[in-house]
Structure 1
Amino acid sequence: MHYPLEVMLVCVRWYAAYPLSFRHIEEMMAERGVLVDHATVHRWSIKILPVLAVVFRRRKRPVGTSWRMDKTYIKVSGQWKYLYRAVDRDGDTIDFLLRAKRDHAAARSFFEQAIGLHGVPEKITIDESGANTAAILSIRADSGADIEMRQSKYLNYIVEQDHRAVKRIVRPMLGFKSFRSARAMIAGIETMHMIRKGQMDCLEDQTSSAAAKFYTLAF
Structure 2
Amino acid sequence: MSCLQLPTDVLFLIVLLHLRFKLSMRDFAEFLLLCGLVFSHQAVQNWEVKLSPLLAVVLRQRWGSKTGHSRSADETSLKVGGRWQYLCRATDSNRNLFDVYLSTTQSRAAADAFFRSAVAVTVIILKMITTHKYAGYLRALEQVFGDGVEHHPSTFKNNHLEQDRREVNGRPRVMGGIKSPLSAVRFCRVHDEGRNFLRSATRRKQHAPAAQRRAIHVQRFAALRDMLAVA
TM-score tier after normalising by the smaller chain length: 0.7 to 0.9
Q: CA deviation at 1:152?
A: 1.5
1:193 corresponding residue in structure 2:
195
Say which SS state the counterpart of residue 133 (structure 2) adopts. Answer: coil
Cα deviation 1:155-202 (Å, max 9, x = unaligned): 222221232343344441232122222222222211102212477xxx
1:93-108 mapped onto 2 (5 Å cutoff): 93-101=96-104, 102-108=106-112
1:46-61 mapped onto 2 (5 Å cutoff): 46-61=49-64
Q: Is the 8 A contact 2:132 2:153 kept in 1?
A: yes
Q: Is the 8 A contact 1:166 1:193 kept in 2?
A: no
1:83 corresponding residue in structure 2:
87
Structure 2 residue identity aligned to 1:51: L
Aligned with residue 225 of structure 2, among 209, 215, 218: 215
Say which SS state the counterpart of residue 96 (structure 1) adopts. Answer: strand
Q: CA deviation at 1:69?
A: 1.2
Cα deviation 1:109-145 (Å, max 9, x = unaligned): 332333331523211111222322222010123xxx6
Q: Distance in 1 between matches of 2:56 and 2:136?
A: 27
TM-score relative to the length of structure 2? 0.78
CA distance 1:187–1:67, shift in 2 (3 Å):
closer
Q: CA deviation at 1:75?
A: 1.5
Question: Relative to structure 2, which stretch is displaced further, 171-180 or 209-218?
Answer: 209-218
1:129 corresponding residue in structure 2:
134
Say which SS state the counterpart of residue 86 (structure 2) adopts. Answer: strand
Structure 1 residue identity aligned to 2:37: V
Aligned-residue RMSD, C-alpha: 2.5
Structure 2 residue identity aligned to 1:43: N
Query: What percent of counterpart residues are identical?
Result: 27
Structure 1 residue identity aligned to 2:75: K
Q: Distance in 2 between matches of 1:30 and 1:163?
A: 31
1:202 corresponding residue in structure 2:
none
CA distance 1:31–1:99, shift in 2 (3 Å):
same
Query: Quick check: 1:140 aligned with 2:145?
Result: yes
Q: Distance in 1 between matches of 2:43 and 2:185?
A: 18
1:12 corresponding residue in structure 2:
15
Q: Distance in 2 between matches of 1:217 and 1:79?
A: 37
Say which SS state the counterpart of residue 20 (structure 1) adopts. Answer: coil
CA distance 1:107–1:31, shift in 2 (3 Å):
same
TM-score relative to the length of structure 1? 0.82
Q: CA deviation at 1:85?
A: 1.6
CA distance 1:57–1:9, shift in 2 (3 Å):
closer
* Consecutive unaligned residues in structure 1, runs of 5 or more: 200-205
